[in-house]
Amino acid sequence: MLTKRIIPCLDIKNGRTVKGVNFVDLRDAGDPVELAKQYADVGADELVFLDISATLEGRGTTLDMVLRVAEQVNIPFTVGGGISSVEHVDELLHCGADKVSINSSAVKRPELVNELSNKFGSQCVVVAIDAKQVDGQWKVHLAGGSIPTDIDLFEWAKEVETRGAGEILFTSMNHDGTKNGFANEALAKLSESLNIPIIASGGAGNVQHFIDTFEIGKSDAALAASVFHFGEIPIPELKKELKANNIEVRL
């Protein structure tokens, strides 16, 4: 059985970690470099670092921040935000990132997934999908969830898999920050239709939600932010509970 992964997410804006509800009402959650080191020390399996305003501001991810975070951690580290070229990814990897996460840029130019996969390998390419359930249909949203599209979540996920994505990071905008649990029905559907790992994001509020997304949602990894940043769920305790529920994790 493959080990399930626990992944804290550092959403960065103006050099600080922030967290909101349904992608708005952001509040400060601390220094990203300090948080990254703390998470690596307490047993997080990976980190995701998202420069959430990069796309809206029309710029790339801050390289200096990536370099500083990479110096502090010894676990896989994914970086996203405003990434739109092979050259930019090359810079991020040289600064210490292990993987990159692309979102809006992949929708605008799907060939980017092929280009990155061909150049760096699929294991390096995470396609993040922010989707919202509207009238029973899951629709992809761009630019930090601010721009709706008519693109179907499941069709888009299948397309990026065929183009060479190594993982899907699916965030349910309906669930984000609500602490009411992950979108397990959609996650299970994604898991059944794809052959690459699915990272669940949006809705973690308690330990049972993590158990549910692994058991019901068939997720390969679970990503969360505020419950970790504000000390509501310590990662060592979470992993012990998962292990007690026969979910394979790295202790």
Which residues are known to be catalytic?
11, 130
Query: Is 20 strand, coil or helix?
Result: strand
List Cβ neighbours of 224 (8 Å cut-off, separation of 6 or more). Answer: 6, 7, 8, 9, 201, 204, 210, 233
143 phi and psi angles, rounded to 5 deg: 50, 60
Structure tokens at 5: 């992964």
Strands 16-21 and 5-13: antiparallel
Q: Which helix or strand (DSSP H or E) is residue 130 part of?
A: strand 125-134
Side chain identity at residue 128, one-letter code = A
List Cβ neighbours of 145 (8 Å cut-off, separation of 6 or more). Answer: 23, 130, 132, 173, 176
Q: What is the largest CA-CA distance in the chain?
A: 46
